[in-house]
Structure 1
Amino acid sequence: MSIKKKFSMGVMSAALGLTLIGGGTYAYFSSTVVTNNTFAAGTLDLSVEPTAIVNVENLQPGDSIIRDFELQNNGTLDIERVTLDTDYRVIDVNGDNTEDFGEHIQVEFLYNADNLDEVIYETTLAELKDMTLDAVNEHIFYPAFGEKGLPVGSSNDLVVKFNFVDNSADQNQFQGDSLQLEWTFIAHQVPGSDK
Protein backbone atom coordinates (compact mmCIF):
# COMPACT_ATOMS: atom_id res chain seq x y z
CA MET A 1 0.00 0.00 0.00
CA SER A 2 1.34 3.34 -0.93
CA ILE A 3 1.96 6.10 1.49
CA LYS A 4 -0.77 8.15 -0.12
CA LYS A 5 -3.32 5.39 0.39
CA LYS A 6 -2.23 4.87 4.00
CA PHE A 7 -2.43 8.56 4.67
CA SER A 8 -5.88 8.84 3.05
CA MET A 9 -7.11 5.83 5.01
CA GLY A 10 -5.86 7.39 8.23
CA VAL A 11 -7.58 10.70 7.53
CA MET A 12 -10.85 8.92 6.69
CA SER A 13 -10.62 6.79 9.83
CA ALA A 14 -10.04 9.88 11.93
CA ALA A 15 -12.98 11.70 10.32
CA LEU A 16 -15.24 8.67 10.89
CA GLY A 17 -14.12 8.49 14.51
CA LEU A 18 -14.82 12.17 15.09
CA THR A 19 -18.23 11.83 13.49
CA LEU A 20 -19.11 8.91 15.74
CA ILE A 21 -17.83 10.71 18.84
CA GLY A 22 -19.64 13.94 17.93
CA GLY A 23 -22.83 12.11 17.06
CA GLY A 24 -22.68 10.14 20.28
CA THR A 25 -22.83 13.26 22.44
CA TYR A 26 -26.43 13.86 21.32
CA ALA A 27 -27.61 10.35 22.03
CA TYR A 28 -29.53 10.86 25.35
CA PHE A 29 -33.16 11.03 26.57
CA SER A 30 -34.87 14.38 26.72
CA SER A 31 -38.31 15.76 27.56
CA THR A 32 -39.75 19.24 26.89
CA VAL A 33 -42.79 21.01 28.30
CA VAL A 34 -44.10 24.52 27.52
CA THR A 35 -46.08 26.47 30.16
CA ASN A 36 -48.54 29.28 29.50
CA ASN A 37 -48.64 31.92 32.25
CA THR A 38 -50.82 34.96 32.89
CA PHE A 39 -50.43 38.00 35.10
CA ALA A 40 -53.80 39.74 35.38
CA ALA A 41 -54.11 42.88 37.47
CA GLY A 42 -57.16 43.37 39.67
CA THR A 43 -59.30 46.49 39.71
CA LEU A 44 -60.17 49.12 42.28
CA ASP A 45 -63.66 50.41 41.55
CA LEU A 46 -65.16 52.70 44.19
CA SER A 47 -68.66 54.00 43.44
CA VAL A 48 -70.89 56.49 45.23
CA GLU A 49 -74.68 56.36 45.14
CA PRO A 50 -76.13 58.88 44.58
CA THR A 51 -73.47 60.89 42.77
CA ALA A 52 -75.10 64.23 43.64
CA ILE A 53 -75.15 64.26 47.43
CA VAL A 54 -76.48 67.78 48.06
CA ASN A 55 -78.46 70.12 45.86
CA VAL A 56 -80.38 72.60 48.02
CA GLU A 57 -81.63 76.14 47.42
CA ASN A 58 -82.89 78.99 49.63
CA LEU A 59 -80.74 78.23 52.66
CA GLN A 60 -80.77 80.60 55.59
CA PRO A 61 -78.65 80.67 58.76
CA GLY A 62 -79.84 77.93 61.12
CA ASP A 63 -80.89 75.49 58.35
CA SER A 64 -79.68 71.86 58.38
CA ILE A 65 -79.62 69.28 55.61
CA ILE A 66 -79.11 65.56 56.22
CA ARG A 67 -77.99 63.39 53.33
CA ASP A 68 -76.94 59.78 53.22
CA PHE A 69 -74.99 58.06 50.49
CA GLU A 70 -73.42 54.70 49.90
CA LEU A 71 -69.81 53.89 49.09
CA GLN A 72 -69.58 50.65 47.09
CA ASN A 73 -66.61 48.45 46.21
CA ASN A 74 -67.45 47.16 42.73
CA GLY A 75 -63.90 46.10 41.91
CA THR A 76 -61.98 42.85 42.29
CA LEU A 77 -59.60 44.07 45.01
CA ASP A 78 -60.31 44.91 48.64
CA ILE A 79 -60.15 48.60 49.55
CA GLU A 80 -58.08 49.19 52.67
CA ARG A 81 -59.06 52.82 53.14
CA VAL A 82 -60.93 55.66 51.51
CA THR A 83 -59.82 59.26 51.58
CA LEU A 84 -61.78 62.37 50.73
CA ASP A 85 -60.51 65.44 48.92
CA THR A 86 -62.71 68.51 49.43
CA ASP A 87 -62.85 71.50 47.14
CA TYR A 88 -65.45 74.20 46.73
CA ARG A 89 -66.05 77.46 44.96
CA VAL A 90 -68.11 80.30 46.36
CA ILE A 91 -70.12 82.40 43.92
CA ASP A 92 -70.38 85.83 45.53
CA VAL A 93 -73.22 87.49 43.59
CA ASN A 94 -72.81 90.93 45.19
CA GLY A 95 -69.03 90.91 45.53
CA ASP A 96 -69.31 91.93 49.17
CA ASN A 97 -67.99 88.84 51.00
CA THR A 98 -65.42 89.58 53.67
CA GLU A 99 -65.53 85.99 54.95
CA ASP A 100 -65.41 82.52 53.38
CA PHE A 101 -68.91 81.04 53.03
CA GLY A 102 -67.33 77.60 53.66
CA GLU A 103 -66.45 78.69 57.22
CA HIS A 104 -70.17 79.01 57.92
CA ILE A 105 -71.12 75.54 56.64
CA GLN A 106 -70.63 73.00 59.41
CA VAL A 107 -70.28 69.34 58.40
CA GLU A 108 -71.15 66.48 60.75
CA PHE A 109 -70.32 62.93 59.70
CA LEU A 110 -72.79 60.61 61.45
CA TYR A 111 -72.71 56.89 62.15
CA ASN A 112 -76.10 56.18 60.59
CA ALA A 113 -79.43 57.79 59.80
CA ASP A 114 -81.16 56.17 62.81
CA ASN A 115 -78.83 57.72 65.38
CA LEU A 116 -78.37 61.28 64.20
CA ASP A 117 -76.83 62.28 67.51
CA GLU A 118 -73.83 59.95 67.07
CA VAL A 119 -71.30 62.19 65.38
CA ILE A 120 -68.14 60.61 63.97
CA TYR A 121 -66.48 63.91 63.22
CA GLU A 122 -67.49 67.56 63.06
CA THR A 123 -65.76 70.33 61.11
CA THR A 124 -66.47 73.14 58.63
CA LEU A 125 -66.12 72.90 54.86
CA ALA A 126 -63.22 75.36 55.05
CA GLU A 127 -61.36 73.19 57.59
CA LEU A 128 -62.17 70.00 55.65
CA LYS A 129 -60.74 71.56 52.49
CA ASP A 130 -57.42 72.19 54.28
CA MET A 131 -57.17 68.72 55.89
CA THR A 132 -54.72 66.14 54.57
CA LEU A 133 -56.15 62.99 53.02
CA ASP A 134 -54.72 60.87 55.85
CA ALA A 135 -56.35 63.09 58.47
CA VAL A 136 -59.70 62.71 56.74
CA ASN A 137 -59.31 58.93 56.74
CA GLU A 138 -58.30 58.91 60.42
CA HIS A 139 -61.21 61.09 61.58
CA ILE A 140 -64.01 60.00 59.25
CA PHE A 141 -63.55 56.76 57.35
CA TYR A 142 -61.56 54.71 59.84
CA PRO A 143 -64.20 55.18 62.57
CA ALA A 144 -66.92 54.33 60.02
CA PHE A 145 -65.24 51.33 58.33
CA GLY A 146 -62.83 50.09 60.99
CA GLU A 147 -59.92 47.81 60.12
CA LYS A 148 -61.95 45.83 57.59
CA GLY A 149 -61.96 48.67 55.07
CA LEU A 150 -64.29 48.03 52.15
CA PRO A 151 -64.00 44.39 50.95
CA VAL A 152 -64.90 43.35 47.41
CA GLY A 153 -68.66 43.45 46.82
CA SER A 154 -69.43 45.35 50.01
CA SER A 155 -70.87 48.79 50.63
CA ASN A 156 -71.05 51.20 53.52
CA ASP A 157 -73.57 53.95 54.20
CA LEU A 158 -72.39 57.36 55.31
CA VAL A 159 -74.64 60.07 56.65
CA VAL A 160 -73.67 63.72 56.55
CA LYS A 161 -75.40 66.67 58.15
CA PHE A 162 -74.70 70.14 56.75
CA ASN A 163 -75.54 73.10 58.99
CA PHE A 164 -75.62 76.71 57.82
CA VAL A 165 -74.41 78.03 61.17
CA ASP A 166 -76.34 80.95 62.63
CA ASN A 167 -73.59 82.83 64.42
CA SER A 168 -76.00 85.46 65.84
CA ALA A 169 -74.18 88.12 63.84
CA ASP A 170 -74.80 89.87 60.55
CA GLN A 171 -74.47 87.30 57.76
CA ASN A 172 -76.10 89.45 55.06
CA GLN A 173 -72.99 89.18 52.90
CA PHE A 174 -74.03 85.61 52.00
CA GLN A 175 -77.51 86.48 50.70
CA GLY A 176 -77.93 85.11 47.17
CA ASP A 177 -74.50 83.43 47.24
CA SER A 178 -73.93 79.80 46.41
CA LEU A 179 -71.26 77.28 47.23
CA GLN A 180 -70.38 74.55 44.73
CA LEU A 181 -68.93 71.60 46.64
CA GLU A 182 -66.81 68.91 45.01
CA TRP A 183 -65.96 65.79 46.96
CA THR A 184 -63.49 63.33 45.45
CA PHE A 185 -63.45 59.91 47.12
CA ILE A 186 -60.18 58.03 46.61
CA ALA A 187 -59.87 54.27 47.15
CA HIS A 188 -56.56 52.80 48.34
CA GLN A 189 -55.78 49.11 47.90
CA VAL A 190 -54.80 46.75 50.67
CA PRO A 191 -51.05 45.94 50.77
CA GLY A 192 -49.83 43.29 48.32
CA SER A 193 -49.31 39.71 49.52
CA ASP A 194 -47.77 36.42 48.44
CA LYS A 195 -50.02 34.70 45.93
Structure 2
Amino acid sequence: MHYSWIKEDLKLPPTDFDSPTNSAITENPLELFSNFVDEEVIELILNQSNKYAQQKNRKAKKEKQEVNAFIGVLILRGYMQVPRRRMFWEREKDCHNVMITEAITRDRFEYLFSNLHVCDNQQLDKFAKLRPLFTLLNKKFMENSSLEEMHSVDEGMVPYYARHSCKQYIRGKPMRYGYKLWAGSTRLGYLN
Protein backbone atom coordinates (compact mmCIF):
# COMPACT_ATOMS: atom_id res chain seq x y z
CA MET A 1 0.00 0.00 0.00
CA HIS A 2 1.41 3.37 -1.03
CA TYR A 3 0.38 6.72 0.45
CA SER A 4 0.94 10.05 -1.24
CA TRP A 5 0.95 13.32 0.70
CA ILE A 6 -1.03 16.37 -0.42
CA LYS A 7 -0.18 19.88 0.82
CA GLU A 8 -3.61 21.14 1.92
CA ASP A 9 -5.79 21.21 5.01
CA LEU A 10 -8.07 18.32 5.77
CA LYS A 11 -11.72 18.78 4.92
CA LEU A 12 -13.69 18.16 8.10
CA PRO A 13 -17.47 17.82 8.25
CA PRO A 14 -19.20 20.74 10.02
CA THR A 15 -20.01 20.21 13.67
CA ASP A 16 -22.44 21.83 16.11
CA PHE A 17 -19.54 23.84 17.50
CA ASP A 18 -19.00 25.72 14.22
CA SER A 19 -22.24 27.67 14.54
CA PRO A 20 -23.12 28.39 18.19
CA THR A 21 -26.82 28.52 18.93
CA ASN A 22 -26.56 31.51 21.25
CA SER A 23 -23.80 34.05 20.85
CA ALA A 24 -23.65 35.63 24.29
CA ILE A 25 -20.24 37.14 23.54
CA THR A 26 -21.61 39.48 20.83
CA GLU A 27 -24.09 41.17 23.18
CA ASN A 28 -23.35 44.48 24.83
CA PRO A 29 -22.31 44.36 28.53
CA LEU A 30 -25.73 45.39 29.88
CA GLU A 31 -27.56 42.71 27.87
CA LEU A 32 -25.00 40.12 28.93
CA PHE A 33 -25.36 41.11 32.61
CA SER A 34 -29.17 41.07 32.38
CA ASN A 35 -29.02 37.47 31.12
CA PHE A 36 -27.85 36.48 34.60
CA VAL A 37 -29.21 39.13 36.95
CA ASP A 38 -32.71 39.28 35.53
CA GLU A 39 -36.14 39.83 37.07
CA GLU A 40 -36.06 36.41 38.75
CA VAL A 41 -32.82 37.18 40.62
CA ILE A 42 -34.02 40.69 41.56
CA GLU A 43 -37.30 39.23 42.86
CA LEU A 44 -35.37 36.68 44.96
CA ILE A 45 -33.23 39.41 46.51
CA LEU A 46 -36.22 41.70 46.99
CA ASN A 47 -38.51 39.11 48.61
CA GLN A 48 -35.90 37.60 50.93
CA SER A 49 -34.50 41.00 51.96
CA ASN A 50 -37.99 42.28 52.76
CA LYS A 51 -38.71 39.11 54.75
CA TYR A 52 -35.45 39.56 56.71
CA ALA A 53 -36.23 43.23 57.44
CA GLN A 54 -39.69 42.19 58.64
CA GLN A 55 -38.17 39.56 60.96
CA LYS A 56 -35.93 42.28 62.43
CA ASN A 57 -38.90 44.68 62.84
CA ARG A 58 -37.58 47.21 60.32
CA LYS A 59 -40.26 49.17 58.51
CA ALA A 60 -39.09 50.42 55.13
CA LYS A 61 -39.88 48.25 52.13
CA LYS A 62 -37.46 47.80 49.26
CA GLU A 63 -38.34 48.22 45.59
CA LYS A 64 -36.90 46.84 42.35
CA GLN A 65 -35.36 50.17 41.31
CA GLU A 66 -33.52 50.41 44.62
CA VAL A 67 -32.16 46.87 44.30
CA ASN A 68 -30.98 47.63 40.75
CA ALA A 69 -29.28 50.84 41.95
CA PHE A 70 -27.74 48.92 44.87
CA ILE A 71 -26.26 46.27 42.54
CA GLY A 72 -25.00 49.03 40.23
CA VAL A 73 -23.19 50.72 43.13
CA LEU A 74 -21.61 47.40 44.15
CA ILE A 75 -20.34 46.86 40.59
CA LEU A 76 -19.02 50.42 40.38
CA ARG A 77 -17.24 49.94 43.71
CA GLY A 78 -15.22 47.21 42.05
CA TYR A 79 -13.81 49.75 39.60
CA MET A 80 -13.54 52.82 41.81
CA GLN A 81 -12.12 51.78 45.13
CA VAL A 82 -12.23 54.07 48.15
CA PRO A 83 -11.23 53.23 51.74
CA ARG A 84 -14.84 53.43 53.00
CA ARG A 85 -18.02 53.00 51.01
CA ARG A 86 -19.58 56.12 52.57
CA MET A 87 -16.95 58.26 50.85
CA PHE A 88 -18.90 58.11 47.55
CA TRP A 89 -21.50 60.43 49.11
CA GLU A 90 -19.00 62.93 50.57
CA ARG A 91 -18.61 66.35 48.96
CA GLU A 92 -14.83 66.22 48.34
CA LYS A 93 -13.89 66.14 44.65
CA ASP A 94 -11.52 63.18 44.92
CA CYS A 95 -14.15 60.69 46.10
CA HIS A 96 -17.62 62.13 45.36
CA ASN A 97 -19.47 60.28 42.59
CA VAL A 98 -22.46 62.02 41.03
CA MET A 99 -23.72 58.86 39.36
CA ILE A 100 -24.00 57.08 42.71
CA THR A 101 -25.51 60.01 44.62
CA GLU A 102 -28.21 60.47 41.97
CA ALA A 103 -29.05 56.76 41.90
CA ILE A 104 -29.45 56.13 45.65
CA THR A 105 -28.98 57.99 48.92
CA ARG A 106 -26.28 56.97 51.37
CA ASP A 107 -28.69 56.01 54.15
CA ARG A 108 -30.85 53.96 51.79
CA PHE A 109 -27.77 52.15 50.46
CA GLU A 110 -26.65 51.37 54.02
CA TYR A 111 -30.16 50.13 54.86
CA LEU A 112 -30.18 47.83 51.83
CA PHE A 113 -26.65 46.67 52.64
CA SER A 114 -27.62 45.76 56.20
CA ASN A 115 -30.76 43.86 55.10
CA LEU A 116 -29.46 42.07 52.00
CA HIS A 117 -30.58 38.43 52.04
CA VAL A 118 -31.24 35.75 49.42
CA CYS A 119 -32.74 33.01 51.60
CA ASP A 120 -34.98 32.52 54.60
CA ASN A 121 -33.17 32.36 57.95
CA GLN A 122 -35.39 29.47 59.05
CA GLN A 123 -33.48 27.00 56.79
CA LEU A 124 -29.83 27.02 57.73
CA ASP A 125 -26.82 24.91 56.80
CA LYS A 126 -23.30 25.98 55.81
CA PHE A 127 -24.28 27.69 52.55
CA ALA A 128 -28.01 28.06 53.13
CA LYS A 129 -27.88 31.84 52.95
CA LEU A 130 -26.38 31.76 49.45
CA ARG A 131 -27.70 28.47 48.07
CA PRO A 132 -30.82 29.93 46.35
CA LEU A 133 -28.67 32.55 44.61
CA PHE A 134 -26.05 29.96 43.61
CA THR A 135 -28.74 27.64 42.24
CA LEU A 136 -30.40 30.41 40.25
CA LEU A 137 -27.13 31.76 38.85
CA ASN A 138 -25.91 28.27 37.89
CA LYS A 139 -29.15 27.79 35.96
CA LYS A 140 -28.61 31.14 34.20
CA PHE A 141 -25.00 30.26 33.36
CA MET A 142 -26.13 27.00 31.74
CA GLU A 143 -28.93 28.70 29.77
CA ASN A 144 -26.73 31.50 28.43
CA SER A 145 -23.40 29.77 27.89
CA SER A 146 -22.11 29.70 24.35
CA LEU A 147 -21.72 26.32 22.72
CA GLU A 148 -18.01 25.85 22.10
CA GLU A 149 -15.69 22.92 21.78
CA MET A 150 -12.78 24.32 23.81
CA HIS A 151 -13.40 24.82 27.52
CA SER A 152 -10.98 25.37 30.36
CA VAL A 153 -11.88 24.37 33.91
CA ASP A 154 -9.92 25.80 36.81
CA GLU A 155 -10.32 26.81 40.43
CA GLY A 156 -10.72 30.36 41.62
CA MET A 157 -10.37 31.76 45.11
CA VAL A 158 -12.87 34.22 46.54
CA PRO A 159 -10.97 36.01 49.33
CA TYR A 160 -12.47 35.65 52.81
CA TYR A 161 -10.61 36.22 56.06
CA ALA A 162 -13.31 35.80 58.72
CA ARG A 163 -14.19 32.47 60.31
CA HIS A 164 -16.24 29.92 58.42
CA SER A 165 -15.98 26.15 58.30
CA CYS A 166 -15.91 26.08 54.47
CA LYS A 167 -13.00 28.50 54.18
CA GLN A 168 -9.84 26.98 52.73
CA TYR A 169 -6.13 27.69 52.93
CA ILE A 170 -4.09 26.96 49.80
CA ARG A 171 -0.35 27.52 50.08
CA GLY A 172 1.39 29.21 47.16
CA LYS A 173 -1.66 31.05 45.85
CA PRO A 174 -1.84 34.86 45.68
CA MET A 175 -5.10 34.67 47.69
CA ARG A 176 -4.44 31.92 50.19
CA TYR A 177 -7.58 32.21 52.37
CA GLY A 178 -11.10 32.02 51.04
CA TYR A 179 -13.66 29.94 49.24
CA LYS A 180 -12.53 27.78 46.36
CA LEU A 181 -14.93 27.83 43.41
CA TRP A 182 -14.64 25.85 40.19
CA ALA A 183 -15.20 27.79 37.00
CA GLY A 184 -15.25 26.92 33.31
CA SER A 185 -14.37 29.42 30.63
CA THR A 186 -14.39 29.40 26.84
CA ARG A 187 -11.59 30.50 24.56
CA LEU A 188 -13.25 33.92 24.13
CA GLY A 189 -13.29 34.54 27.89
CA TYR A 190 -16.89 33.66 28.71
CA LEU A 191 -16.92 32.46 32.32
CA ASN A 192 -19.57 29.96 33.39
**TM-score of the superposition, structure 2-length normalised?**
0.17
Give 1 or 2: higher strand fraction.
Answer: 1
- Structure of higher CA gyration radius: 1
Task: Answer 1 or 2: higher relative contact order, Cα 8 Å, separation at least 6.
Answer: 1
**TM-score of the superposition, structure 1-length normalised?**
0.17
Give 1 or 2: higher helix fraction.
Answer: 2
